[in-house]
Amino acid sequence: MLVVTKPGLQSTLQAAPRIGYRHFGVPYAGPADELSHALANRLVGNTATTPALEITFGGFEAEVETECSIAVTGAYDQIHISGQTAPAHTTLHLKSGDRIEILPVTRGTRTYLAIATGFQADEAFGSKSTYLPAQLGGLDGRALKAGDRLKSVGSPVLRETRETPVSHRPVFAHAVALRACASAETDLLDEADRKSLFEDTFIAGRQATRMGVTLTGRTLSPMSDGQMKSAPVFPGTIQCPPSGTPVVLLCDAQTTGGYPRIGHIARCDRHLLGQIRPGDQTKLLQRRPEDALRDYAEKRKFLDTWLKP
């Protein structure tokens, strides 16, 4: 059991996305960086979508009440266990009284902390992932507070130490390139704007939540009268409201929206969206859908050499 002493800006329990309820307006949720979440679980012997902690910008502290095995992945600068530096991407065996500190993060946004057998979490609409706007899943559907006790499902000890192969450790910088496809309303952009969308470098705006990241630095002008009929949107959809500042939707993406859908981040790179920080340089690389699917299959095959041995 862990007792949260400092929750950080926003820490939630995330598990599998909430698939199959979008048509009731219920977003997928789940980890903003699905890959780092799966890597953390792998290190403690869990299946990929076992409930684990998602910590935003670090600044998280907890006390260990019973012996346990944990692992930390995703964005991190310094991890301290009872004051000593500890490695990410490695199974950590902790004893009662140990103190876990995830120091503030300066590259990437979200840290994942998994525990052997997984954290207990509420289930809603078939998923244990926290969706804050509707208070679903996780711990009472909310972000963690100081004093919260996080229990594991079973005995949280793994009698083995694992390390993520260096080849499989994501590295976060202040710049990211994302493969993307044209979407339903890309045609509403003129040629210059289309070129700009897929060739220029944008700066991630101050709004960088689990719902969406804005792309600033230049504005686009889709030919729209603001009267488009609300249409389905997904994590990865790039919407362009009349303000001209595109918004890339993330895991908590609303299910429908009325702004032109000018592009769509390819599935193979959607996990990277969860690590974009305000101010990061962001570039889109246009792919044809069939090429993007091939990219996904290749990436999946490579990742599975470690995630599914």
Partner 1 sequence: MPTRLIPRRIADDVIELQVSSPVEAQTLASALRELVPAEDVIAGLDRVSVQFHPSCAAQIEHALQDVTVENKTKPNSAPPIEIGISYGGEYGPDLASVCEALDLSTDAFIETHTQRVHTVEMIGFTPGFSYISGLPENFSVPRLASPRPRVPAGSVGVSAGFTGIYALNGPGGWPLIGKTDAELFRANNQDPFLLTPGQLVRFRAL
Minimum CB distance to partner 1, residue 87 (Å)? 33
Tell me, by CB under 8 A, how many residues bind partner 1.
53
Least distance (Å) from partner 1 to the CB of residue 296?
Answer: 5
Q: Does 25 bind partner 1 (CB under 8 A)?
A: yes
Q: Which long-range contacts (CB under 8 A, 24 or more apart) does 292-301 make?
A: 292/179, 292/181, 292/266, 292/267, 292/268, 293/267, 295/179, 295/266, 295/268, 296/266, 296/267, 296/268, 298/268, 299/268, 300/268
Least distance (Å) between residue 256 CB and partner 1: 3
Q: Stretches 71-79, 194-202, 225-233, 272-280: which one binds partner 1 (CB under 8 A)?
A: 225-233
Q: Per CB under 8 A, does 135 bind partner 1?
A: yes
Return the residue matching tokens 């069939």: 290
- Give the pair of three-digit tokens for residue 108: 């990437």
Residue of 56, 152, 164, 237 interacting with partner 1 (CB under 8 A): 237
* Residue 256 makes contact with partner 1 by CB under 8 A: yes
Q: How far is CA 308 from CA 63, 181, 304, in A?
A: 31, 28, 5
- Residue 246 backbone class (left: φ over 0; alpha: ψ -120 to 50; beta: rest): beta
Contact status, residue 46 vs residue 91, Cβ threshold 8 Å = no
Span interacting with partner 1, options 40-48, 53-61, 193-201, 239-247, rule CB under 8 A: 239-247
Rule CB under 8 A: which residues touch partner 1?
Answer: 19-27, 124, 133-136, 141, 181, 183-184, 207, 211, 225-232, 234, 236-237, 241-243, 254-259, 261, 264, 266-268, 287, 289-290, 292-293, 296-297, 300
